[in-house]
């Protein structure tokens, strides 16, 4: 069995995603999936999510980002692929900020 392929993606989630427990919900999903990174509010009202982990788990989180918690209204999820070098190493945990 080969080791899982690790990937990193940065998402910018737009819509009604601040003040609706979006970051907390994302953190819960990430922890359940074994993903490291962060979720943080941006000044323009969007949320940035950095997701690092096994490709299938990151894809499942990506799907959840389009839904979010019940009171969120997601209008767009932009994605950027990142390398470990660009990150300066993999994050060790998932945090909100």
In a domain, 11, yes or no: yes
Domain count for the chain: 1
Identify whether 44 is part of a domain: yes
Establish if 91 belongs to a structural domain: no
We report the CATH number of the domain holding residue 58 as 3.30.70.100
Tell whether 96 is covered by a domain: no
Q: Are 35 and 91 in contact (CB under 8 A)?
A: no
- CA-based nearest residue to 38, from 88, 93, 81, 78: 93
Positive or negative, the CA dihedral 76, 81, 84, 85 is negative
Catalytic residue (choose from 12, 41, 60, 95): 41
41 classed as catalytic: yes
pTM of the model: 0.93
Q: Reduced to 3 states, what is the DSSP secondary structure of residue 68?
A: coil
Instruction: Give yes or no: 23 in active site.
Output: yes
> Is 90 a member of any domain?
no
Structural domain including 23 reads: 6-84
The per-residue b/e assignment along 13-25, b for 16 or more CB within 10 angstroms, e otherwise, is bbbebbebbbbeb
Per residue in 8-61, pLDDT tens? Answer: 999 999 999 999 999 999 999 999 999 999 999 999 999 999 999 999 999 999
């Amino acid at each position: 069995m080969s080791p899982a392929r690790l990937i990193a993606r940065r998402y910018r989630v737009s819509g009604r995603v601040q003040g609706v427990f979006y970051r907390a919900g994302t953190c819960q999903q990430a922890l359940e999936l074994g993903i490291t990174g962060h979720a943080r509010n941006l000044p323009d009202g969007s949320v940035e999510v950095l997701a690092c982990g096994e490709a299938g788990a990151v894809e499942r989180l990506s799907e959840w980002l389009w839904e979010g918690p019940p009171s969120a209204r997601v209008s767009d999820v932009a994605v950027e692929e990142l390398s470990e070098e660009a990150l300066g190493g993999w994050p060790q945990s998932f945090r909100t900020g």
